[in-house]
Amino acid sequence: MSKLKVIGIFGHYGNKKIEDETFILSVIQNLYLRIPNVEIECFSINSIDSSTSYNMTSYPIWKEKVQAVIVDQTTENPDHLQPQNKIIVETTVSEIHQIKNVFKKIPFVFTFLEILQNLLELPLFFLKEFENLPIVSW
């Protein structure tokens, strides 16, 4: 018996958009058809939805409070959409991300902080270019 191959699929799916879900489903089906002894794990926006829809181990791609879902891989039919067993693992993020999420909920404050950050990150040589602009007098 050959060794089980593990393939990870990363993408912005799991958000119930039919275009994204159709594309990922076709990728998953083609992998099962063309590669023997394959285990597919996905990294998606909504790991619980992806795990339920595709019957595979799923991990979230965002750094927020997330739930990773591990489903039973022992079913013989890879198209089986309802997982027999699943384990939900909750994780939390660092305090910096939690503070950032609080500021994101306050629209004007977060926008102001983003603008301020972008201004502070401007390179010094770019600011010096403004000094070299000729002043035109009428």
Q: b or e along 2-21 (b: 16 or more beta carbons within 10 Å of the residue's beta carbon)?
A: eeeeeeebeeebbeeeeebb
C-alpha–C-alpha distance, residues 111 and 95, integer Å: 20
**CA-based nearest residue to 40, from 52, 51, 28, 48:** 28
pLDDT for residue 66 = 47
Q: What is the pLDDT of residues 96-119, one digit of tens each?
A: 667 777 777 777 887 888 888 777
The ranges assigned to domains in the chain are 5-91, 95-131
Q: What is the DSSP letter of 47?
A: H
pLDDT for residue 79 = 46
pLDDT for residue 136 = 59
Q: What is the pLDDT of residues 31-85, one digit of tens each?
A: 999 998 889 998 888 888 888 888 888 888 875 554 555 555 555 554 444 444 4
What does the pLDDT average to over 2-30? 85
